[in-house]
Amino acid sequence: MLPVQVGNCSLQFPEPSTSIPVFRIAFMPTSLRHHSTLLVLVVCAALLLGGCGAMQRHFETTNLTTTEITQFSGASSRLIEQVFGGSYRDEALEQRLDQLVVNLQSAIDGNAEPVRVRIVNDSIPRSYAVPGQILLSRGLVATLKQDGLLAAVLAHELGHLRAGHWQRSLRDKPFAPVLLATNFSEAKPSPTDVMQRRAEDYVSFLLEDGFPREDEKEAEALGRDMLARSGYDPGLVVLSRNLLEGAMAGREILGWPRTHPDRGLRSGRDRTGFQVSPEGAPTYMTDLLSMQAGYRLLDKAHLLERAGNVVEAIPVYMDAATLAPEQSLILTGLGMAYLQVGELTAAHLNLRRAILNDGGYYRSRFGYGFVLDRMGRSDEAIVQLQRSIELLPTVKAVFLLARCHARRGDIDQAVNLFRRVAAGKDTDLAKQAHQAIRELNKDE
């Protein structure tokens, strides 16, 4: 965590996307657990692949309506996306990945409802599935590069979806109100809020436990069947796994190798005649691969920043921005680094550029709101902080939003927000929120 002084309040920025930050949710009740090793396996949902019969069984086992499943899916995918750097925008690449999913599904069920593929902006190989969506990391796609290898990963995630593993997880470990960190308000939460909380609880469960061996074995078998029926060599499962494990060689075991451990699933009889093309990656990979040198420098800058070497990280961020121009995540890292050394003008410039390129990442909005607040532009800061909270409601953003309202003289609004912070588990900010409430009430 990276401290920044604001008045008499020392805040800590969430760490860069190479690790999972601690998100103590202010409006949402569950906290994502922070691990020194990165794990998230948000895999799940048999809603889409099983036809009408499977859909009926789904409702019987989870007791969720179609609307609730849509809300649950959206909340889960947004959470994953925000935790891992926001989305990586590449229309041609996403279209090709969508087509691979269509081909795999069609081989099993010609009436399967669509599952879309989205790319999250993280260098570590990762893959997750929620109802109607599969999320792959930029690092996974860049490592595998070719249709057959990507199809092997997509087939595995579709296997989890088809088997309905998320249903068992919700049923075996139901939504636990004891995990709530902060209440929304005194009023009864809305149905949307409840689904948001359920999604957070589910993601937290997956961070803690992951799927058991029998679920991984079933997804593996279903994935191999889809590959074979689609004309792919099932041995691609092994080759893709080897490449992903190789990408993490010499480093802490993270991402796909951690969330999809071998667990005895690999067969010594597996063989494949597939060879990685010596001609390189297909054309739909061109833009992503051209950015990889810049993103490697981004990861280096993150490591320097986490070690406390913010001044040394800044020129590395600048080189990253040169090699991978107009990338929101890189500009966000550069802007946040400038903010920490007190260079408000440079921080403002880069965070504003990050938002103009892609305003859908909570950390860009949070940092920009912080800068605007430091510059005395509370009205504009409030807009950015509110948007950051909509994307991912962190207690730090709520604390800053409360301070902005207090400076504007919106005492009731400020006190309400400070109370939400005070009710949370962030001890330092909770103490400061209690103190702010006492001071505001004394001034009235």
DSSP state of 89: P
CATH superfamily, with its number, for domain 291-443: Tetratricopeptide repeat domain (1.25.40.10)
- How many helices and strands (H and E) does the chain possess? 20, 7
The ranges of the chain with pLDDT < 50 are: 1-61, 174-186, 263-269, 278
Q: How far is CA 284 from CA 90, 144, 287, 296, 389, in A?
A: 9, 13, 7, 20, 34
Asked if residues 216 and 260 have their Cβ atoms less than 8 Å apart, the reply is yes
pLDDT of amino acid 209? 67
Residue 25 three-state SS: strand
Going by DSSP bridges, is the β-strand pair 133-137/116-120 parallel, antiparallel, or unpaired? Answer: parallel
Write the DSSP string, 292-315.
HHHHHHHHHHHHHHHTT-HHHHHH
pLDDT tens column, 191-209: 777 788 888 877 776 666 6
Asked if residues 406 and 442 have their Cβ atoms less than 8 Å apart, the reply is no
DSSP state of 9: E
Q: Domain limits of the chain?
A: 23-284, 291-443
pLDDT of amino acid 232? 94
Round to whole Å and give the CA distance between 187 and 147.
50
Question: For the chain, what is the radius of gyration of the CA atoms?
Answer: 22
Q: Look up residue 15 and give its amino acid.
A: E
CA 225 to chain centre: 29
The Cα diameter of the chain in Å comes to 77
Residue 2 three-state SS: strand
pLDDT of amino acid 68? 84
Q: Which residue has the tokens 């993103």?
A: 295
pLDDT of amino acid 192? 76
Write the DSSP string, 253-286.
--HHHHHS--TT---TT--------TT-S-GGGH
pLDDT of amino acid 340? 95
What is the number of residues in the chain? 444
Round to whole Å and give the CA distance between 242 and 125.
12
Tokens of 190: 């809305």
Round to whole Å and give the CA distance between 125 and 41.
12
Round to whole Å and give the CA distance between 43 and 135.
9
Residue 394 three-state SS: strand
pLDDT of amino acid 354? 98
